[in-house]
């Protein structure tokens, strides 16, 4: 139901991996003596900086540069951590008008999601549901989580969702669903929403 | 001079104006609320759109297809821009239903008030699959 930063993590970890791999290769080449031969770098074991480093790092400019680098690294790390928080990432309000010249028509996706939930909750064995719409009004995506009890006929539930719930949503939006994600959980709770049934009995006077 | 929040209707003059000055006949003034109520009544009577009812000071209201939708109007001279907040039956084709509602509101408000309705903004605030007519339906608890 929620979106995580999987793609971002993979991309950043790949970049970091490449950088670390390059550094490791450079160290190996340096240690084996190949790099000094190829790039004319100082051989391994020789000191490249002579004297005390303290005067260099005590300069105000060096301190400022290190401070900026540190803060930048910390901010980037913080942004990366914040990106790990799972997000629902719901769609913006759906525009249901063609051009808007005669007025706009707006429907919040949560309104449609609630209608879907109300419809699903009346199905036999369903104890709860949660719907989320993403995408646009022309290309909507539906993520539906349905919680059923152990008495539910899951096959019948799926058949009903395919034959009624999803087509109803498409009919309301007048657009086919681009992607549909369905998650079914089983719970020990009992159904509390009731079922709307058509009465066919005889009226007694 | 019009009071704030009101719209003065222009006179419709026939072929024979008869005796007397038109200005001396007085002025018909429509308050904003009148136009809003006309729009919401049209939406309620002549479409499947509904509003909210019950509650106190806007708290605890519930969706009601028989209630009047909430409407507001912005006037610029003789031109009106209406905004209507409606609830509808689910699943109706929302584009078609709201477009029909827009045309109907625009035509009827123009007909009844003489205003030129340029735009009707519609916000669908709830959807229900329960018609609420109670015909042949029982809720098993």
pLDDT tens per residue across span B1-34: 455 556 666 555 445 555 557 677 888 788 889 9
Question: Which pLDDT score is estimated for A7?
Answer: 87
Taking one residue from A and the other from B, the number of pairs with CB-CB distance under 8 angstroms is 91
Residues A164, A132 within the same domain? yes
Taking CB atoms and an 8 Å limit, are A198 and B137 in contact across chains? Answer: yes
Look at residue A117 in the predicted model and tell me its pLDDT. Answer: 94
Q: Is residue A87 part of a domain?
A: no
User: B98 CA to chain A: closest CA distance, Å?
Assistant: 7
Q: Residues of B with CB below 8 A from A173's CB?
A: 94
Provide the whole-model pTM.
0.69
Question: How far is A174 from chain B, CA to nearest CA, in Å?
Answer: 6
Cα distances (angstroms) measured from residue A17 to each of A14, A33, A100, B122 = 5, 24, 50, 52
Q: In the beta sheet, which residues pair with residue A186?
A: A148
pLDDT at A202: 62
* Domain span including residue A68: 6-82
Q: Answer whether residue A125 is part of any domain.
A: yes
| Residue A178 and residue A140 in contact, taking contact as beta carbons nearer than 8 Å | yes
Residues of B in contact with A196 (CB under 8 A): 130, 137-140
- Say yes or no: A172 and A101 in one domain: yes
| Total of domains in chain A | 2
Report the CATH number that the domain containing residue A179 is assigned in CATH.
3.30.300.30
Write down the pLDDT at residue B141.
Answer: 44
The domain boundary, picked from A82, A115, A148, lies at A82
In this structure, the answer to whether residues A53 and A112 fall within a common structural domain is no
Q: Which chain B residues are Cβ-neighbours of A114 within 8 angstroms?
A: 126-127
**How far is B120 from A75, CA to CA, in rounded Å?**
47
Same structural domain for residues A76 and A105? no
More confidently predicted of B48 and A150: A150
pLDDT in tens, A182-194: 999 998 777 666 5
> In chain B, what are the domain boundaries?
29-58+69-128
**Residue B1 confidence (pLDDT):** 45
- For B29-58+69-128, CATH gives 3.30.70.1350
φ, ψ for residue B122 (rounded to 5)?
Answer: -120, 130
Residue A18 in domain = yes
Question: Is A202 within a domain?
Answer: no
Q: Are residues A78 and A98 in the same domain?
A: no
- CA–CA dist A196, A122 (Å, integer): 7
* pLDDT tens column, A112-147: 999 999 999 989 889 999 999 998 999 999 999 999
pLDDT tens profile B91-141: 899 999 999 999 999 999 999 998 999 999 999 999 988 765 544 344 444
CB contact under 8 A, B127 and A97: no
Q: Are A50 and A56 in contact (CB under 8 A)?
A: no
For chain A, the residues whose C-beta falls within 8 A of a C-beta of chain B are: 96-98, 101-108, 111-112, 114-115, 118-119, 168-169, 171-174, 194-199
**ipTM entry:** 0.76
Out of A102, A118, A194, name the one closest to residue B140 (CB). Answer: A194
Domain boundary among A82, A116, A144: A82
* List of chain B residues whose C-beta atoms are within 8 Å of the C-beta of residue A111: 124-127
């Amino acid at each position: 139901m929620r979106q995580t930063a999987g793609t971002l993590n993979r991309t950043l970890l790949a970049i970091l991996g490449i950088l670390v791999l390059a550094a490791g290769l450079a160290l190996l080449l340096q240690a084996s003596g190949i790099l000094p031969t190829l790039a004319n770098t100082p051989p391994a074991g020789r000191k490249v900086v002579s004297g005390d480093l303290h005067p260099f790092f005590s300069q105000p400019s060096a301190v400022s540069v290190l401070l900026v680098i540190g803060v930048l690294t910390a901010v980037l790390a913080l942004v990366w951590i914040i990106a790990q928080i799972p997000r629902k990432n719901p769609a913006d309000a759906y525009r249901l008008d063609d051009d808007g010249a005669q007025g706009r028509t707006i429907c919040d996706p949560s309104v449609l999601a609630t209608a879907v939930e109300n419809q699903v909750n009346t199905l036999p064995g369903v104890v709860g549901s949660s719907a989320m719409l993403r995408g646009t009004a022309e290309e909507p995506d539906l993520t539906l989580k349905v919680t059923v009890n152990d008495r539910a006929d899951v096959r019948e539930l799926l058949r009903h969702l395919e034959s009624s719930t999803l087509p109803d949503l498409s009919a309301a939006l007048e657009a086919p669903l681009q992607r549909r994600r369905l998650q079914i959980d089983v719970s020990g709770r009992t159904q509390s929403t009731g079922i709307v049934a058509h009465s066919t009995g005889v009226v007694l006077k | 001079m019009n009071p704030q929040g009101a719209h003065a209707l222009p006179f419709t003059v026939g072929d024979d104006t008869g005796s007397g000055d038109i200005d001396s006949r007085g002025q018909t003034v429509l308050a904003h609320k009148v136009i809003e109520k006309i729009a919401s009544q049209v939406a309620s009577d002549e479409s499947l759109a509904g509003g909210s009812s019950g509650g106190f000071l806007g708290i605890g209201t519930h969706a009601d297809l028989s209630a009047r939708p909430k409407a507001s109007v912005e006037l610029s001279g003789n031109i009106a821009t209406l905004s209507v907040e409606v609830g509808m039956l689910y699943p109706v084709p929302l584009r078609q239903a709201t477009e029909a509602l827009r045309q109907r509101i625009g035509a009827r408000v123009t007909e009844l008030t003489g205003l030129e309705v340029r735009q009707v903004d519609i916000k669908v605030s709830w959807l229900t699959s329960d018609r609420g007519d109670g015909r042949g339906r029982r809720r098993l608890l």
